[in-house]
Amino acid sequence: MVTVAAAVLVGGCADPATPSPRPAATPRPTPVITPDPHLADPADLDTIFAELTKAGLVITPINAGSADEPRRRINATYLDWPLIISEFSSGRALRTTTRWTPGGAPRRGEAPFTIVGLNLMFEYGPKVTNAVTPEPPEQRYRDAMIELALVLDPLLGPLEQRSVVALPLPTASPPVAPTPPPTPAPS
């Protein structure tokens, strides 16, 4: 018992000038650079199709073809609705060949949803209709197109659309310059 008391006294009388050991410094984590997944014009149809599949979208190709413009096309189904993905040689060729103008409702013979990014066009829904504009589709088809757009946006955005029901796209189309107000005539 005396030995224990002596040990406590000796341990309690340690030199206060002796520094206690410091814990080792925690190394800072190495910064991770997030790669930009955005593709350049012209984007490759096979790359996009692989990304859609990797994202878990169940798109079933029916057939594919090639021509001058669009230079490649995949006819598929997505959630039991037709999906046509067309690859043009450039974004400019897409706009010239199709006379693409974003915004507004589709016209007779167009799919209910059309999205364009870079040189690729995605037409979703049946085109055969006698209506001047397609009828608004069921909510599940709208949700499916939104899901598709969420996968496409980081790769091809900003996306443009012409839809029977406007889709909330992740990035807005480039803004249209407002028309300046008329200048008052000098008095």
Q: Find out whether the peptide bond into 175 is cis, omega within 30 degrees of 0.
A: no
Under 8 Å between Cβ of 141 and 167:
no
Asked whether the predicted pLDDT for residue 164 surpasses 70, the reply is yes
Q: For all residues of the chain together, what is the average pLDDT?
A: 80
Asked whether the predicted pLDDT for residue 153 surpasses 70, the reply is yes
Joined together, the tokens standing for residue 121 give 């066009």
Under 8 Å between Cβ of 71 and 88:
yes
Residue 113 is classified by DSSP as: E
pLDDT at 84: 96
Joined together, the tokens standing for residue 53 give 């599949």
Asked whether the predicted pLDDT for residue 6 surpasses 80, the reply is no
Within the chain, what is the greatest distance between any pair of CA atoms? 112
Strand partners of residue 173: none
**Using CA of residue 120, residue 122, residue 128, residue 132, what is the dihedral sign?**
negative
Instruction: Render pLDDT for 30-55 as a digit per residue (tens, 0 to 9).
Output: 666 666 677 888 888 889 989 999 99
**Using CA of residue 129, residue 131, residue 132, residue 136, what is the dihedral sign?**
negative
Q: Bigger pLDDT: 89 or 66? A: 89
Where exactly are the structural domains of the chain? 45-163
pLDDT at 8: 46
pLDDT at 119: 96
